[in-house]
Structure 1
């Protein structure tokens, strides 16, 4: 025995099901009302030239750029627990995470005795040194 809604007729039930089909099935662009569609970024949005979080002037622009990818790779081999820390702490963390030689060379080029608060500071201090 098929159960249906006793408040509506079969025609109204079918129409209501069609109205929500896109939302229920999750098809792309299935939003029934235009106001539910997210707006694209406007022309008045500022261009991001530094990594989110505002670490400083030494953070390269954007993921996808050569500099941005190099910075990301560098930072991914330094554990968060190493910060704040000096060169020895950063090198120890990088060894634990099995950092490649180029990252280890960059860390070895850091000035001794300086404390780094984050990867951006270490990147900036090692920029252009034996990388």
Structure 2
């Protein structure tokens, strides 16, 4: 038993237009306000400092040799992970400079402990 459509043709066309961008990937399909990303809330931290290009590359390079399975981890665990990922000697030397007995949860904490 076919019950038909609950809407008229005009309403169907309008509803179809509203979702066209999502269904077909039409440019500008996310122009509606409710699709826009919201700004950070009042309880969210604000960025305080940006790394320059060279620092950013060095930070990224260090992070490449810290396996996710090594975090959280201490100096020895981080060094083993870096060795498994074939880290160059300068990265291994940096990890050897970390304080013993301290557990690091993120690469940012490692970066800060290295005084960068």
- What is the TM-score when the length of structure 2 is the normalising length? 0.60
Aligned length: 107
Is the Cα–Cα contact under 8 Å of residues 110 and 125 in structure 1 kept in the other structure?
A: yes
Which residue does the alignment assign to 2:36?
A: 38
- List 4+ stretches of structure 1 deviating above 6 A: none
Q: Say whether residues 1:99 and 2:87 are aligned partners.
A: yes
Cα distance change on mapping 1:107 and 1:35 into 2, 3 Å: closer
Q: Secondary structure at the match of 1:123?
A: helix
For 2:87 and 2:70, how far apart are their aligned partners in 1? 14
For 2:93 and 2:60, how far apart are their aligned partners in 1? 16
Equivalent residue in structure 2 for 1:115, among 80, 102, 110: 102
Matches within 5 A, 1:30-109: 30-31=29-30, 34-38=32-36, 41=39, 47-49=46-48, 61=50, 65-109=53-97
* Residue ranges of structure 1 left out of the alignment (5+ in a row): 1-5, 51-60
Q: Secondary structure at the match of 2:21?
A: helix
Cα distance change on mapping 1:22 and 1:104 into 2, 3 Å: same
Which residue does the alignment assign to 1:29?
A: 28
User: Aligned-pair distance for 1:38?
Assistant: 0.8
* Residue ranges of structure 2 left out of the alignment (5+ in a row): none
Deviation string 1:46-76 (CA, Å, 9 cap, x unpaired) is 74126xxxxxxxxxx35x7432332232123
Equivalent residue in structure 1 for 2:13, among 16, 19, 23: 16
Q: Which has the higher helix share?
A: 2
